[in-house]
Structure formats: C-alpha cells, structure tokens
Amino acid sequence: MIKDYLQLIRVPQWIKNFFVFVPLLFSLHLFDKDYLLLSLKAFIVFSLASSFVYVVNDIIDIEADRAHPKKKNRPLASGKIKKSSAIILSVILLAVVLSSYFFFNYQFVSFLYAFLILNILYSFYLKHIVILDIFSIAAGFSIRVLAGAAVIDVPVSSWLILTTMFISLFLGVMKRHSELMQVADNNKSTRKVLAEYSTNFTNQMATVAASGVIICYALYTVSQRTVSVFNTENLIYTTPFVVFGIFRYMYLEYQSNQGENTTQVMMTDIPMILTVISYSIVTVLIIYKII
C-alpha cells in the first residue's frame, strides 16, 4: 500500500524540482548553510506541490490512463488505490503546500502559487491546446528557477532564465515526439492534442529548442555580467557538457524512443548521469575558484 501511494505521488519525478537549486549554484552561496537550508526547504515544498498536481492529474485522467499501454498500471487506473482516497490525499498535500505561506517570503510564495495555478490549468485545459501545452510545461520549470532565486533573495541572469525555458521546451517536445511514436506503433492515442502534432513538426521544434539551449547557455557563460560576477571566463568550458547532454537525449529519443520519461532517462542512462555529474563538478570547481 505504501509503495502504491509513493507511486501515486511520483517521488522519482521530484528530480525535476532540483531546478530550484540552480540559482543557489550560481549565487556563490552553495556552501553557505543558511542559503542551502532555504533552498532545500523550497525543494521539499515544490516536490509536495508537484505531487499534488500529479494526483489531481491522475484523478482527471483515470479513464484515459486505463486505455494507455503503460499508464494503465498506475495506482488509480489499475484500481490499487480508490479515487476517494486519492482525493483525500490531494487535499492534504494542498493544505500542506498552502500553509508554507507562513515560512517563506512573499515573492517565493507567489511563484509557488503561480506554479499550482499553472499546473491546475494545464491538467484541466492547457494540455489540450497545441503548442500551448508544451509552453505550459516549460513555464513550470522556469517558475522553479525563479522561485529558487526568490527564496534566497538573489538575482538570476536573464540568459539563465532563457536557457531554462529552452531546455524545458526541448524536454516537452521530446515527450510529445515519443508519444507520437507510441501512437504510430499502437495505432491508439489517449491524448487528444497529439492529433494536432506530427513527427515532422516535433522534429523541427526540437531542433529550434535544442539550438536555443546551446546558444543561450553559451552566451550566458561569456556574458559581461557572468564574467564580472564570477571573475573568470572559464565557465565557457562547461558548454561541451550541455551540448553532449542535449545530443545524448536526442539520440535516446530518436534511436530508442525513450524521451517520454525524462526522469527515467536521467536516472538510468549512464552517459547522461556521468554528464550531469561531470558538469556539476566542473561548474562548482570553476565558480568557487577551487581550480
């Protein structure tokens, strides 16, 4: 039963909320205990907020999930957890998230509530509108970054926000492309908006988004503000990790059709794991003048 509830709240998906740590990494306060604790609290709250959204989404899509080759095994769709129990759980999660108002600054709470509203709108309405569905996903990641900056009260580079937006768009497009491939294989779709997409269209969008990630990040590393803040031009040497990560993700999707589940890719693909770890280590070494 516990395993079913953990699956319902999608604990592995909490990895997406690590975006709240991005501003901390680039704020020069990574090793400051107070800043780290605030970011950790923000991560926990956003994880609970994400779980609330996942539960609500599963309640809404319970019938559609039962017709999906993979989603039919989810706790609600398979009948392992009753719908009434899921509703109670969602209310509890929402109450906990809303009560965080008393423990964070107003700006962070505003981003948190915006995240909730955006995802509720997505679950009921936005996910059915072509292109806007992908932008909604991207906006969720951008809000995480902005909230991460707000909770520790530090400014965030515009180039970093743009990079986050493009990488979020890229992941959203890859997800839609993978779903289209599944429809082609099974000749059955449980997501209405897929009828508005085509593989050729998603391929073009993926190319634009991938290019946006690489260009924006590269410009961020050499921008005058970045060089001034970190007092080094060496951050540009982290760009190859970003490029490799994008290309590796595209390879996994186009060659193996693994792009639907970002979390699974990030936690199971060894080259991707090594790339993320290497990028993180090199970035910390450069920013914090360890090398």
Closest Cα partner for 40 from 115, 103, 101, 118? Answer: 103
Same-domain status, 38 and 127: yes
The residue range of the domain holding 96 is 1-156
Q: What percent of the chain has pLDDT over 70?
A: 95
Answer yes or no: do 140 and 205 share one domain.
no
Report the distance separating Cα 242 and Cα 240, nearest Å.
5
What is the domain-level CATH number for residue 54? 1.10.357.140
CA angle 154/160/164 to nearest 5° reads: 115
Residues 181 and 261 in one domain: yes
Tell me, what's the pLDDT at 188? 56
Helix (H, G, I), strand (E, B) or coil at 283: helix
- Given a cut of 70, whether residue 189 has pLDDT beyond it is no
Are 139 and 269 contained in the same domain? Answer: no
Q: What is the mean pLDDT of the chain?
A: 88
Which pTM does this prediction carry? Answer: 0.88
Residue 45 — very low, low, confident or very high, per pLDDT cuts 50/70/90? very high
pLDDT for the residue 285: 93
pLDDT digits (tens, 9 = 90+) for 109-135: 999 999 999 999 998 888 889 999 999
Final residue belonging to a domain, choices 122, 156, 190: 156
- Binned at pLDDT 50, 70 and 90, residue 291 comes out as low
Of the three residues 126, 156, 186, the one that is the final residue of a domain is: 156
Summarize pLDDT for 236-245 with one digit per residue, the tens.
999 999 999 9
Last residue of some domain: 130, 156, 182?
156
Looking at residues 163-182, what average pLDDT do you find?
A: 88
Please indicate, yes or no, whether residues 57 and 112 belong to a single structural domain of this protein: yes
Backbone angles phi, psi at 280, to 5 degrees: -60, -45
176 in the same domain as 135: no
Q: What's the chain's Rg over C-alpha atoms?
A: 19
Do 147 and 42 fall into the same domain?
Answer: yes
| More confident: 5 or 256 | 5
Let me know: does 165 contact 120? Beta carbons within 8 Å.
Answer: no
Q: Would you say residue 155 has pLDDT above 70? A: yes
Specify whether the CB–CB gap between 226 and 220 falls below 8 A: yes
> Which range has the worst mean pLDDT, 44-48, 54-58, 128-132, 180-184?
180-184
Number of domains in the chain: 2
Q: For residues 4 and 66, is the Cβ–Cβ distance under 8 A?
A: no
pLDDT at residue 186, as a whole number: 60
Q: Are residues 146 and 220 in the same domain?
A: no
Q: Per residue in 75-106, pLDDT tens?
A: 888 878 888 888 999 999 999 999 888 888 99
